Amino acid sequence: MVTSHYIKIFFLIFLTDLRRLYNRFYWVFYRYSHNHELNFITKRRLNVCLVGIVVSIISIITCMIYFPMKAFLTDGISPDILSWIRYILLIHILLGFIGCINRYERAIQPEDYEIIIGSPVPAFLFVVNRFVLQNLLSVLSLFLFLFLPLCISAAFASKVSWCSLIVFPIVGMLYILFYSSICGVVGYIGYYIMHRWKWTQISIFSNSVFFTIFGFLASFPLMSWVLDRTSLSEARVVLLIRGIAESNWVPTNLFIEAIRTFIAGKPFFLMVFVLCIVVSFITFLVFCRLNRFISVKPMLQIRMKRENRYRYLHSLYLRLLNSLPNEYRFILDKDIKSLTRISEMFRYRIIKILYLFSLTSGLFIGLGMNGVQNFVSDTSLLITFVILSSILSSLIGTGLLGVTSIDSESTNINLFLQRGFDPKKLIISKVLLQVIVLLFSSTFFLLVISLALSLPMYAISIGLSINMIVSIVYGAIQVQVTAVYPRFDWEHYSEIGRSPRSVTLENVLTGVYFIFILQGIGALITLHYFNDISAFMMFSWSIIWCLLVGVLLLGYMYIFLERKGTRHWEGYR
Amino acid sequence: MNLLTVNQVGKSYEEYRVLDGMSLSIKEGEIYGLLGPNGAGKSTLLKIISGLLSFDQGEVKIEETSLLAQPLEYKKLIGYVPDHPFLYNYLTAREYLAFISGLWGINEKGLIEGVLSTVRLAERGDTLITTYSHGMKQKLSIAAALLTKPRILILDEPLTGFDPPSAKFMKDFLREYVKAGNSVLVTTHILEVAQHFCDRVGIIGEGKLVQELDQLGAFDSFEDLVISVMEESA
C-alpha cells in the first residue's frame, strides 16, 4: 500500500517537473504574446513542429545507418566491434560520474524546500526524482538520436516483428534507470564525504590534504606503470579498462547482451532481459534506500561573519578601493562584501573548488614527479602549464560566478537600469573582480604545485606568465558571456551564471582559445625540435602567442558585446 | 477552547537565541496578530508552528495533535502562507494546485476550481505563474493552503502587495473563514491592520511573548502603546 502510494507520488513529481520544463520551453514563445495566455492552438502547432523535427531527424539517422546495419547483421557482430561497444558504454557510465555530486547537491538543496517540507510526502522521493530527471535529460538526446535509430534499423534489418520494437525502448529505459541510480549512489557518497565533518578550518585542511594525497597516489603509480612500457600504444591502463569492459560481470554489458541476443533471436534473451530488470531495480532501490537517511536543506542559507579577523587586509582593501573611480567602487565594494561575508552557497562552492584543486594538484604532482624522473623536457613543461592554467581558471572561475556573473544581480538589476547607470560599467567592474580573484588564486595554486615539484625558477616564471594571461582571458570571457546571455529569473543558485546559452558560448570561446594556443605552442615546439629556434625564443614566442590570441579573442568579445548591447536585458525585468 | 498551543518553545541559530521559552495560545474562531520589531523571531515562530523548522525545546500542538508526535496529522491541520511564497513559475495556477492536491492525495472533484474562485483567480488559472504579480502569488499560495481544509491558517505579512479591493476581499474572506470555527495567525508591521483586523495581538521581544492585548478597538492610541511595549522589551 505504502509502496504503491510512493510510486504514484513519484510519477506525480516526475510529471510535474517535466511539465515545468515543457512550459519553460514554450515560455520562450509565449512571453511575447500580448496576454501571456497559453494559447491551445499555437501550442498544438508548436508541438506538431517539434515532434515533426524529432521524427525527421530520427528517420534520417535510421535511413543512414540501415545498410551498414544490414551488412553488419549479415556478417554477424564481430567480437572486436562488440568489445568496443562495451568499452564505450562503460566509459559513458564513468563520464556520468563527473558532476554527479553537483547534480545530487542540486536535488538535495531544492528551490522548493518549503513545499517539500510542508507536504506529507517523504523528502527522499523528491530528491530521487529530481536526480533521475536530471540524468534522464542528459542522456535523452543520446537515447533519441543514437540508441533509437540504431534499434529501429536493427529491427528492420533483422526482420523481427514490429511489436518487438517495444523491447528496445524498455531496455533503453532500464539502462537510463541503472545509469541514474549508479550515478546517484556515487553522488550520494561524494556528498556524504564532503559533509561528513563540520566545516572547520582543521577539517577543510585535512580534507584538502587527503584529496592531494589521493590524487598523487592515483597518478604517480599509474604513470609509472604506463612509462614502464616500451610502447605507449600498449599502455596497460587502456588494456585494463578494456579488460574490465569485456567482463560479463559488468552490469552495462547485460544491456548490450540483451539487445544482441534479441536481434539474433536467441532464447537466452529472456534470461538476460530479466537480469537487466533485476540489476536496474536493485541499483535504484539502493539509491532510494540511501536517500532515506539524508534530509533536504533549504537553498541559500546566508550566514554573516560576525567579526573581521583580518583587519590589516581589510584596511589595505579599503585603500585600494578608494583609489578606484567612484562609479566602479560601489559595485566592487558590494561584490567583494558578498565574497567575503560568505554565504553558505558561496562557501560551499569555494570549498568544493579547493577540494577539486587539491585533487588536481595531487594528480599533477604525481604526473610531474614521473616526468621529472623519466622524460620531461622544456617543451612538455609548456603544454603542462597551459593545461594546468586552463583547468585552474575553469574551476575557480566557475565557482566565482555565483557573485561575479551578471545573473547574480537577479531582480536587483533594475536598481542599476532604472537609475540610468551605464551597464557597461557594471560589466567592467564584474570582469575586474573576476579577473583579480582568479589571477591571485590560480597564481597561488600554481606556485604551490611548482614548489612541490621543485621546478627551476625560469620554469616557474614561464608558468606564472602563461597562467596570468590564461586567467585574464578566461575570467573576462566567463563574465562577458553572462552579459551576452544573462538569466535573471534563475530558480536555483546552481543556475547563477550557468544559463545553457552562456555556458555554450563560454565553452566555445575558451575551447577555441585553448586549441589555438596549443596549436601555436605545438608549432613553436616543432621549430625548436629541429633547432630552428632556441629554447628562449620558444618560451618568449609562446607567451607572446598566448597574449596575442587572448587579445584577439577579448577584442572580438568586446565588439560582440558592443553590437549586442544590453537592450535585451530589459526582457527579463 | 484553544486551537493552537505553543508551549515554552526555544530555538537557537548557533550561539544566537532567537526564541527563548515562547508560549502562546490561539482560540477557535480567532484572528491572532503577532507583532514585534524586525528580527524579533516572528517568522521563525511561524515556520516552527507550520513544521518547516525544527526547534530545540518545547511543544507545539493543534488541539490534541502534537507536531512532534504526529507530524503528518498536524500538517493537515495547518496552512502556511509565507511572505514570499515559492511557487513553480513555469506551471499554471491550475497545474500547481493539481500538483499540491496530488501530494496530499486529495481527489475531491471541483476543489481546485472552488479554491481558485475563493481567491478570485479562476480567470487567470491557465496563465503561467511567472506572469503573476506579488499579490496574485499570495492569493495562489493561500489557495494552495486551503486545499487541505486546514483548521488554522498562518500568514506572514498577508496584506503586503495587495491592491485595496484585494486587501478588502482578503480581510472579508479571513473573517468568514474564522466564523466557521477555524483560526488565523498573522504577522504584520502595519499597526492599523492589526488593530482593526485582529481579535487579539501578541507582541514579541527578546524571543518571548512580552504582552498580549485584546479588545483592540477600545484603544485610542494603539500605535503608541505597541511601540512603547516594543521599546521597553528591546
- Cβ-defined contact of A119 to B95 (cutoff 8 Å): no
* Chain A residues whose beta carbon lies within 8 Å of the beta carbon of residue B72: 120
> CB A84: neighbour CB atoms within 10 A?
13
Residue B138 predicted with pLDDT over 80: yes
- Cβ-defined contact of B127 to A121 (cutoff 8 Å): no
Residues 6+ apart with CB under 8 A from A421: A327
- Cβ-defined contact of A117 to B51 (cutoff 8 Å): yes
- Cβ-defined contact of A120 to B72 (cutoff 8 Å): yes
Residue with cell 594556443: A517
Calculate how close chain B gets to A403, using CA atoms only, in Å: 22
- Cβ-defined contact of B86 to A111 (cutoff 8 Å): yes
Q: Considering only A97-111, A277-291, A339-353, which range has the smallest mean pLDDT?
A: A339-353
Residues 6+ apart with CB under 8 A from A20: B88, B90, B91
* Predicted local distance difference test score (pLDDT) of residue A551: 93
Q: What is the average pLDDT across B128-148?
A: 87
Q: Where are the alpha helices (DSSP H) in chain B?
A: 42-49, 71-76, 93-104, 111-118, 134-146, 164-179, 191-197, 222-233
Residue A380 predicted with pLDDT over 90: no
**pLDDT band at residue A470 under the 50/70/90 scheme:** very high
Amino acid at A347: R
A394: nearest Cα among A507, A517, A548? A507
Give the residue on B whose Cα is nearest the Cα of A23: B90
* Predicted local distance difference test score (pLDDT) of residue A477: 93
Residue A232 predicted with pLDDT over 80: no
Coil, strand, or helix at residue A59?
A: helix
Coil, strand, or helix at residue B22?
A: strand
- Cβ-defined contact of A37 to B91 (cutoff 8 Å): no
* Chain A residues whose beta carbon lies within 8 Å of the beta carbon of residue B131: 36
Domain ranges of chain B: 11-214
Q: How far apart are CA A457 and CA A461, in angstroms?
A: 6
pLDDT (tens digit per residue) in A342-370: 555 666 667 777 777 787 777 777 776 66
* Chain A residues whose beta carbon lies within 8 Å of the beta carbon of residue B126: 37-38
Query: Considering CB atoms only, which of B52, B102, B105 is closest to A118?
Result: B52
* Chain A residues whose beta carbon lies within 8 Å of the beta carbon of residue B70: none
pLDDT (tens digit per residue) in A22-57: 887 777 666 555 555 556 667 777 788 888 988 998
Whether chain A has a CB inside 8 Å of the CB on B82: the answer is yes
Give the residue on B whose Cα is nearest the Cα of A10: B103
* Chain B residues whose beta carbon lies within 8 Å of the beta carbon of residue A23: 90-92, 95, 128
Give the residue on B whose Cα is nearest the Cα of A111: B86
Q: What is the average pLDDT across B117-134?
A: 86
Residue A514 predicted with pLDDT over 80: yes
* Predicted local distance difference test score (pLDDT) of residue A238: 59
pLDDT (tens digit per residue) in A148-166: 888 888 777 776 676 677 8
Query: Considering CB atoms only, which of B90, B104, B130 is closest to A119?
Result: B104
Residues 6+ apart with CB under 8 A from A570: A417
Residue A277 predicted with pLDDT over 70: yes
Q: Burial code of A387-403, b = ≥16 C-beta within 10 A, e = fewer? A: ebbbbbbbbbbbbbbbb
> CB A344: neighbour CB atoms within 10 A?
17
Q: What is the CA radius of gyration of chain A?
A: 27
A40's grid cell: 491551445
A368's grid cell: 610531474
Calculate how close chain B gets to A38, using CA atoms only, in Å: 6
- Cβ-defined contact of B91 to A491 (cutoff 8 Å): no
Please, how many CA atoms are within 13 Å of residue A70, restricted to the half-sphere of its CB?
Answer: 8
- Cβ-defined contact of B128 to A113 (cutoff 8 Å): no
Residue A175 predicted with pLDDT over 70: yes
- Cβ-defined contact of A36 to B127 (cutoff 8 Å): yes
Calculate how close chain A gets to B217, using CA atoms only, in Å: 35
Amino acid at B142: I
Query: Considering CB atoms only, which of B91, B102, B131 is closest to A20?
Result: B91
- Cβ-defined contact of B75 to A118 (cutoff 8 Å): yes
Whether chain A has a CB inside 8 Å of the CB on B80: the answer is yes
> CB A139: neighbour CB atoms within 10 A?
18
Whether chain A has a CB inside 8 Å of the CB on B95: the answer is yes
* Predicted local distance difference test score (pLDDT) of residue A476: 93
Q: Considering only A96-105, A280-289, B98-107, which range has the smallest mean pLDDT?
A: A96-105
Residues from A contacting B (CB-CB < 8 Å) are: 5, 9, 12, 16, 19-21, 23-24, 27, 30, 36-38, 111-115, 117-121, 489, 491
Q: What is the ipTM of this complex?
A: 0.81
pLDDT (tens digit per residue) in A436-459: 888 888 888 888 888 877 778 888
Residues 6+ apart with CB under 8 A from A362: A211, A212, A213, A214, A215, A216, A217, A218, A219
Query: Considering CB atoms only, which of B76, B86, B131 is closest to A112?
Result: B86
Give the residue from B16, B86, B142 with the most A CB atoms within 10 Å of its CB, the best one to mutate.
B86
Q: Considering only A224-228, A549-553, B4-8, B17-21, which range has the smallest mean pLDDT?
A: A224-228
Q: What is the average pLDDT across A290-300?
A: 75
Query: Considering CB atoms only, which of A20, A27, A37 is closest to B88?
Result: A20
- Cβ-defined contact of B127 to A23 (cutoff 8 Å): no
- CATH top class, domain B11-214: alpha beta
Q: Is A425 buried (19+), middle (13-18) or exposed (0-12) by CB count in 10 A?
A: middle
Query: Considering CB atoms only, which of B99, B102, B128 is closest to A23?
Result: B128
Q: What is the mean pLDDT of chain A?
A: 77
**pLDDT band at residue A503 under the 50/70/90 scheme:** confident
A&B contacts, CB < 8 Å: 69
Coil, strand, or helix at residue B52?
A: coil
Residue B131 predicted with pLDDT over 60: yes
- Residues forming a β-bridge with B127: A37
* Chain B residues whose beta carbon lies within 8 Å of the beta carbon of residue A2: none
* Chain A residues whose beta carbon lies within 8 Å of the beta carbon of residue B130: 27, 489
* Chain B residues whose beta carbon lies within 8 Å of the beta carbon of residue A111: 86
* Chain B residues whose beta carbon lies within 8 Å of the beta carbon of residue A16: 88, 91, 95, 99, 102
Give the residue on A whose Cα is nearest the Cα of B89: A20
pLDDT (tens digit per residue) in A302-326: 444 444 444 555 666 666 666 667 6
Residues 6+ apart with CB under 8 A from B138: B81, B85, B158, B160, B161, B162
Whether chain A has a CB inside 8 Å of the CB on B133: the answer is no
* Predicted local distance difference test score (pLDDT) of residue A549: 93
φ, ψ of residue A433 to 5 degrees: the values are: -65, -45
